[in-house]
Amino acid sequence: MRRPAYTLIELLATMVIILIVGAVLMPLLNPPRRHSTGMKNSSQLRGQHQGLVIYAQTNGTYLAGMGTDGEPVPAGPDTTGSLTQDGSVAGSRYWILLNASFIAPALLLNPQDSVTIWTTGQLTTVNHSYAMLRITGTPADYGRRAEWRDNANGAAVLISDRNISSDSTDAHVQSLWTTTPGDWRGGVCWGDNHVGFELSNRLTTTTIYDSVKQTNDNLFATAAGPGVTDNSKDAGANAFMTPTN
């Protein structure tokens, strides 16, 4: 008596089903590395903000880079020892935190980046992967500068993954998480210490001092004049984050 056997077509169909089931289950059993690095990046952004808040407790509620008078710290020994970098520059603000041991140098390294861990001296994007809120003394930045303090504003962005392009327009911005110009995405830390992974350099709505709402903000665009609240075009967008320095 002949024993029943599978046909070739049945064997191929079974193999296809096994491959499909494996493709579905593998991501669940072995989460992508990008997910884990994204979680680590979010944790590092929160750690940076926590260091800023602790610093603010001894600085009249102002975060690192601002003096107790609400003005950016002048260039000099308090801002990386450089005569050219005042407290408005992201590198100077990170240096202030590092020099006083409010954060560890490793917090400044995005897991996707290959920067050099800071040990001493000046600090630039060679040593960090992030951008900070603009706090220059120009009129267009006064509203943003008012948020650079410990006020727990959950609608105000303070830190984000930086734009690795030298161009801040929508067609050219790019982050460490992408390979295509015009495709920025990355971690964003808000004033109440919550962090989100944004899929665009355009934020739908942000709120700054006196509850002024900004719509369609480009995180990295050049500043327009004060009072601009609809930033739908590159040329009309408020400056948000510092340049790559």
* Residue 44: pLDDT over 90: yes
Q: pLDDT value at position 230?
A: 45
* Residue 234: pLDDT over 80: no
* Residue 212: pLDDT over 70: no
Q: pLDDT value at position 171?
A: 84
Q: CA-to-CA distance for 150 and 62, rounded, in angstroms? A: 6
Average pLDDT over the chain, rounded to an integer: 78
Q: pLDDT value at position 157?
A: 86
* Residue 126: pLDDT over 50: yes
Tell which residue, 156, 159, 137, 151, has the closest CA to residue 69.
137
Please, what is the end-to-end C-alpha distance for the chain in angstroms? Answer: 82
Tell which residue, 118, 137, 142, has the closest CA to residue 128.
118
Q: CA-to-CA distance for 133 and 174, rounded, in angstroms? A: 18
Q: Of all residues in the chain, what percent carry a pLDDT higher than 90?
A: 29
Tell which residue, 110, 106, 84, 79, has the closest CA to residue 95.
79
Of 36-45, 51-60, 117-126, 134-143, least confident by mean pLDDT is 134-143
pTM listed for this prediction? 0.78
* Residue 62: pLDDT over 90: yes
Pairing assessment for the beta strands 130-132 and 157-161 based on DSSP bridges: antiparallel
Mean per-residue pLDDT, 224-235: 47
Cβ-contact 171, 183 below 8 angstroms: no
Q: Where are the domains of the chain?
A: 34-236
What is the band of 229 on the pLDDT scale with cuts at 50, 70, 90? very low
Which of 47-51, 122-126, 216-220, 221-225 has maximum average pLDDT? 47-51
* Residue 174: pLDDT over 50: yes
What is the band of 79 on the pLDDT scale with cuts at 50, 70, 90? confident
Q: CA-to-CA distance for 172 and 183, rounded, in angstroms? A: 8
Give φ, ψ of 217 to 5 degrees. Answer: -65, 135
What is the band of 67 on the pLDDT scale with cuts at 50, 70, 90? very high
* Residue 41: pLDDT over 60: yes
Mean per-residue pLDDT, 121-125: 83
For 139-169, the pLDDT digits (tens) are 666 667 778 889 888 888 899 998 888 777 7
Mean per-residue pLDDT, 29-46: 74
Q: 143 versus 119: which is more confidently predicted?
A: 119
